[in-house]
Amino acid sequence: MNRTTHRIRRAATATALVAAGAALLVPATASAAPVSPTAPVPGTQCNVGQVERATAKVAPEFWQHISSNPKAKERFEQTLVQTPEQRTAAREAAKKDRQAKIDEWKKANPGKTPPQHGAGKPGGKHDGTPRTKPSKEQVEQKIAQVKATCATS
């Protein structure tokens, strides 16, 4: 893998976590109504459409992933309109749900190790591709850039 490919992959991974921590960990309900582009985003002076445009500029690799995946885009938009308290509660509920599924699997498969999340996917544990995870500071920097530029997007 050449430097450019590695750099692009690292940048894509870094930007993918801009909202992934909230957007992809929080399960969306199948019956959730679509979010209006004019819906306000708590904690900013922006609406959903402005945040989406700013995200596309600040984190184009992440935006490409989100905009090409309807489920991910729906989760992203649903997360944007939640208050910080709602996001925290949803994250905690998702963690509990995941742990319950792991516990159920362990009960049904005593003595075995549960499969790892993402195993077999690109960058997963079994495809030989190294997986890089951006630091919390890198993610927070991207989020701050989106917040700072969304009102002008």
User: What is the tens place of the pLDDT at every residue in 102-122?
Assistant: 999 999 999 888 887 665 555
10 Å CB burial of residue 64 (0-12, 13-18, 19+) is middle
pLDDT at 151: 86
DSSP class of 36:
P
pTM equals 0.63
User: What is the tens place of the pLDDT at every residue in 32-90?
Assistant: 678 898 999 998 899 999 999 999 999 998 899 999 999 999 999 999 999 999 999 99
> Measuring CA to CA, how many Å separate 153 from each of 16, 97, 150?
20, 37, 5
